[in-house]
Amino acid sequence: MRKISTRMSVLLSITVLLLLSACVGPSAEENMYNKLEKVVELEDKFKDQQQPLVEIEQKESKLYNEIMSLGMKEFDKIVALSKEALSLVEERESKLKAEYDSIMSSKEEFESVGEEIEKIEDVDLEKKAKELKETMIERYKSYESLYKNYESSISLDKELYSMLQNEDLTMEELESQINDINDSYKKVIEQNEKFNTLTEEYNNLKLEFYEQAELNIDKSE
């Protein structure tokens, strides 16, 4: 057999090392981490809408209270304020749509997490990952219900401010509309509480998964 030169031997060793390093990629746990953090980024727009929505709701509430304090002798002022309130409702609707789009983008990204879960070899870690996935799916379902009910409430608000611009509006019609709005927002509040609870549960499970997978993360982020 022909003797392999030292130089050739070194080259072969380097080639083998390169081939081995090419085969070693990020683990399923690391891929999951990257996907879950991408989900966080995609929900940034959702978080950005929270404070503006609160501020718009507060302005609208002040206008509503002012309108309700006026009598029919000040109908022109009622109309002007109702138009202003209607504009705020439309602004709130726009913020809500941006919020919804952000959540749906994160949902689309999250759907690919299942592929990585199937690759996890540690049984306990796989169980934790599946629990995390199920909680997030429930969270998305909760948000979609919240969004639909909030949309319905906004539609009722629009109807109210349009009705207030009608001089022939009866007290019975007004009271009926206000009751419908109050009932609608009760559902929104309940669903919002459920969504917040599921968000907290998911965040806790995500941290537990990171710790169990021994991923080096900064908890202060």
Q: Is residue 218 part of a domain?
A: no
- Check residues 54 and 18 and name the one with the higher pLDDT: 54
* H runs (alpha helix) in 43-122: 44-68, 75-110, 113-117
Q: Is residue 156 part of a domain?
A: yes
User: 5 pLDDT exceeds 90?
Assistant: no
Q: What pLDDT is stored for residue 71 in this prediction?
A: 87
**Number of domains present in the structure of the chain:** 1
Where does the pLDDT of residue 41 fall: very low under 50, low under 70, confident under 90, or very high at 90 and above?
A: very high
Where does the pLDDT of residue 17 fall: very low under 50, low under 70, confident under 90, or very high at 90 and above?
A: very low
- Check residues 91 and 5 and name the one with the higher pLDDT: 91
d(CA 96, CA 104) in angstroms, rounded, equals 12
User: 7 pLDDT exceeds 80?
Assistant: no
Q: Is residue 4 part of a domain?
A: no
Angle (CA) 66 78 96, round 5° = 70
Q: Is residue 152 part of a domain?
A: yes
pLDDT single digits (tens) 77-136: 999 999 999 999 999 999 999 999 999 999 999 999 999 999 999 999 999 999 999 999
Instruction: Give the domain extent around 168.
Output: 25-212
